[in-house]
Chain A
Amino acid sequence: MGKIGRVDVLRAPPGTRAALLGNEAIARGVIESGISVVTGYPGTPSSEVIMTLHAYRAHELGIYVEWAVNERVAFEITYGASIGGARSMVTMKAPGANVAADPIVSAAYGGVEGGLVIYIADDPGPHTTQTEQDTRWFARMAGLPTISPIDPDEARKFVKVAIELSEALKLPVILRSTTRVAHTVGDVVFGEATEPVKYRGFKKDVKRFVRAGMSWNRERHAWLLQQLRRAEELAVGKGLVSSEGSGEYCVVCEGVSCGHLKEAMRSLGEGEAEKIKVVRLGMVNPIPREWVKKELGGCSKILVLEELSPYLEVTLKAALHGLDAEIVGMEEGIIPSVGELNPAHVTAALNSFLGRPTEAAGTEVQDRAPPRPPPLCPGCPHRNSFVALRFGLAKAGYSPSKVPVFGDIGCYALGVSPPLEAIWTEHSMGASISMAAGLKIGGFEGPVVAVIGDSTFYHAGLQSLIEAVHKRIDLLVMILDNDIIAMTGHQSTPAWARTETGREARPVKIEEVVKAIGVEHVYIVDPYDIDKAIEVVKEAVKKPGVKVVIMKHPCALWEARVKGVKAVYRVLPEKCTSCMACVRVTGCPALYVAEDGKVRIMEEDCTGCGLCARYCPYDAIIRVERR
Chain B
Amino acid sequence: MAERILNILIASVGGQGGLTLSRVIAAAAVAEGLSVRTGETLGMAQRFGSVMSFVRIGEDVTSPLFGPGEADVFIGMELVEALRRIHYVRKGGVAVAALTLKPPVSSSLGIAPRPSKEELVEELREAFPSIRFVDAVGEARKLGNYRAANMVLLGYVNGLVGILKDESVEAGISAILRPKAVETSIRAYYRGKELAKE
Contact = CB atoms under 8 A, between A and B. Distances in A.
Interface string B64-87: 111111000000000011011001
Contacts of B29: 19, 187
A419 B34 CA distance: 47
B50 A342 contact: no
Contacts of A344: 67
Interface string A408-419: 000100100111
B10 to A, nearest CB: 12
A362 B123 contact: no
Given A260-B63, A266-B2, A370 B68 contact: no
Contacts of A572: none
A229 interface: no
A552 interface: no
B105 to A, nearest CB: 5
A267 to B, nearest CB: 7
Contact of B36 (A125, A183, A185, A411): A185
A127 interface: yes
Interface stretch (A270-278, A329-337, A589-597): A589-597
Nearest to B119: A595
Contacts of B5: 263
A584 B13 CA distance: 22
Interface in A367-418: 367-375, 377-378, 411, 414, 417-418
A1 interface: yes
B47 A374 contact: yes
Contact of A592 (B37, B69, B107): B107
Nearest to A181: B64
A259 B34 CA distance: 16
Given A370-B80, A375-B105, A592-B107, A185 B38 contact: yes
A283 to B, nearest CB: 20
Nearest to B85: A369
A343 B47 contact: no
Contact of A369 (B27, B84, B146, B176): B84
Interface in A215-266: 256, 258-260, 262-263, 266
Contacts of A584: 109
A487 B48 CA distance: 13
B67 A342 contact: yes
Interface string A568-596: 00000000000010011001110111010
Which of under 10, 10 to 19, 20 to 34, or 35 or more describes the interface residues of B? 35 or more
Interface string A447-484: 00000000000000000000000000000000000000
Contact of A418 (B15, B30, B106): B106
B162 interface: no
A357 interface: no
A17 interface: yes
B69 A128 contact: no
Given A1-B171, A263-B63, A362-B69, A184 B42 contact: no
B174 A3 contact: yes
A45 B80 contact: no
Contacts of A1: 31-32, 165, 167-168, 171
Which of under 10, 10 to 19, 20 to 34, or 35 or more describes the interface residues of A? 35 or more
Interface stretch (B110-118, B128-136, B150-158, B189-197): B110-118
B104 A128 contact: no
Given A183-B41, A419-B109, A488-B43, A3 B48 contact: no
Contacts of A625: none
Nearest to B168: A1
Nearest to A128: B43
A48 B87 CA distance: 32
A414 B104 contact: no
Interface in B136-186: 146, 165, 167-168, 170-171, 174-176, 179
Interface in A277-319: none
A378 B32 CA distance: 39
Contact of A44 (B44, B68, B80, B114): B44
B108 A592 contact: yes
Nearest to A5: B174
A186 B87 CA distance: 25
Contacts of B65: 180, 260, 342-343
B2 A487 contact: no
B116 A185 contact: no
Nearest to B166: A1
Contacts of A5: 174-175
A583 B62 contact: no
A414 B69 CA distance: 32
A267 B165 CA distance: 28
Nearest to B112: A370
B67 A362 contact: yes
A510 interface: no
Contacts of A18: 27, 30, 175
A414 to B, nearest CB: 7
Given A187-B30, A372-B104, A583-B109, A365 B68 contact: yes
B188 interface: no
A323 B103 CA distance: 59
A592 B103 contact: yes
Contact of A370 (B44, B69, B103): B103
A557 interface: yes
Contact of A259 (B27, B64, B107, B146): B64
Nearest to B48: A589
Nearest to B68: A362
B17 interface: no
Given A180-B39, A367-B84, A262 B103 contact: no
B26 A185 contact: yes
B44 A487 contact: yes
B13 A372 contact: yes
Interface in A120-142: 125, 127-128
Contacts of A591: 108
A365 B87 contact: yes
Contacts of A187: 29-30, 34-36
Contacts of B48: 372, 374-375, 377-378, 589, 605
B155 to A, nearest CB: 17
A372 B50 contact: yes
Contact of A414 (B34, B44, B112): B44
Contacts of B112: 370-371
Contact of B81 (A150, A151, A372, A604): A372
Interface centre among B64, B102, B171 (most CB of A within 10 A): B64
A4 interface: yes
Given A344-B67, A583-B108, A3 B84 contact: no
Contacts of A371: 104, 106, 112
Contact of A3 (B45, B63, B105, B171): B171
Q: Which are the 7 A-B pairs with shortest beta-carbon distances? A: A374-B49, A370-B112, A128-B43, A44-B43, A372-B104, A369-B84, A259-B62
Given A342-B66, A378-B48, 17 more contacts: A1-B165, A5-B175, A6-B175, A18-B27, A128-B43, A151-B62, A187-B36, A258-B62, A263-B5, A263-B63, A370-B115, A371-B106, A372-B49, A374-B44, A375-B105, A419-B109, A605-B48
23 contacts: A1-B32, A4-B171, A18-B175, A19-B27, A19-B30, A127-B41, A127-B45, A187-B35, A187-B36, A258-B62, A260-B65, A262-B63, A263-B62, A342-B66, A367-B84, A372-B49, A372-B84, A374-B44, A414-B44, A580-B109, A588-B105, A593-B103, A595-B116
